[in-house]
Structure 1
């Protein structure tokens, strides 16, 4: 439990201001990109938490071509959007995974954690694979297909997770991404209600049913 609490309590490191943006530099690259790459030990909660965070308010972008109009190579990207107050959380996730960067946009009071290096994408897939519950499974499998085709890998597709939500940290990530809690007190009813509100339009019926049980 203490490790998960650190996701909220983590203090951000040095911030560099560039054109009204902030880039938190926590990039770690690996030259070994094949299936024999040494496995990095991540905290046990991270795979489930990241899966929930991705399905709550994350996105995966797959390019339609290998190069842009300038001839520069382009790669897929995984993006997590955060409110400005959650910079420490974005920075801490970046440091845990060891790849990517965090960009803060003060005008929109938001920040985005982006992973778009080959090593980072492989690490992300290895962490999250098998822990998604359906909302982002299609683009996630497209990312696996891209990596397998472009880097001659053999990463397997896993089916959607169907275990009860109380068994892991998926719901914690999903709530941090796109949920709110409300407590309403009223004298007009005998039974108090504590509603949870989820605003994710891509959530699958299977997940929605699980949340309402």
Structure 2
């Protein structure tokens, strides 16, 4: 039973990660030279260990390194690997990216004599699986704010930013982001990028209620990228806030220590937590 639970956790996590930072490239079927589709997830270069771990789990594909972009791309194109991807994420998706998976399933069914059924969007509560952990590993961030002015302010924030519309289908991400905002007990806001005109949904969870929800969720469904390390530090600060200790002298000192080793200031990385991510 434990192995089945871990396998299901992997499926939902991989689905969320794909819907945050992944895409599926489909070949032009009218060209003479035939190509396989490519399932891709982009990672920051510092997260190559996670990319390598997922490559090992999926069993087929390669990592493409893009040093100029400080990134690497998990790329799956062998048919056996693509079938494994379908096995993992079919029925686990929650956003308009389901259409990319459906096109891949159509291609596999047509070209490799399969009859894979396209499963619908998942509707279960977010606290039932690891989808949100994967989605936040892709598009979320953790920060601890400490401002000193007329009144000192210390806060912990989980921030998520996602485009408003799928660039391929034009379908809205509104329903998905509303569900996430409701789950985290915070507001859903929007912003427009002046340089590109692109519009984004923004979720910023900072209240004590939100902090409690976030900690409980990640106790059951952990992150696996380097954000897991930032989250552990963030959680220390969040617990100080939840216990009303963040404005004590000791609390302020601890907050400053935490802030100085998170995110871009992190210089030490430990990947022991990846041992918990494995296939059945």
Q: Which has the larger radius of gyration?
A: 2
Instruction: Please name the residue that 2:23 is paired with.
Output: 59
d(CA) in 2 for partners of 1:44, 1:156: 18
Q: Is the 8 A contact 2:11 2:88 kept in 1?
A: yes
Seen in structure 2, the aligned counterparts of structure 1 residues 193 and 129 have a Cα distance that, compared at 3 Å, is same
Select the residue among 175, 178, 191 that pairs with 1:206: 175
What does residue 195 of structure 1 align with? 157
Distance 1:212 1:194 in 2: 16
The structure with the greater share of residues assigned to helix is: 2
The answer to whether the 8 Å contact 2:60/2:76 transfers is yes
Q: CA deviation at 1:136?
A: 0.9
Q: TM-score, normalised by structure 2?
A: 0.56
TM-score w.r.t. the length of structure 1 is 0.73
- Structure 2 residue runs of 5 or longer lacking an equivalent are 167-171, 183-280
> Following TM superposition, by how much is the alpha carbon of 1:205 offset from its aligned partner in structure 2, in angstroms?
1.6
Q: CA RMSD in A?
A: 2.4
Once residues 81 and 174 of structure 1 are traced to their aligned partners in structure 2, the CA distance between those partners, rounded to angstroms, is 13
Residues 42 and 96, structure 1, Cα contact 8 Å, conserved in 2: no
User: Larger relative CO (CA 8 A, sep 6+): 1 or 2?
Assistant: 1
State the 4+ residue runs in structure 1 displaced beyond 4 angstroms. Answer: 186-193
> Quick one: distance in 1 between partners of 2:150 and 2:112?
63
**Which of 138, 141, 166 is matched with 2:102 structurally?**
141
Match of residue 166, structure 1, among 127, 130, 133: 127
1:189 Cα shift?
7.8
Which residue in the other structure is 2:46 paired with?
85
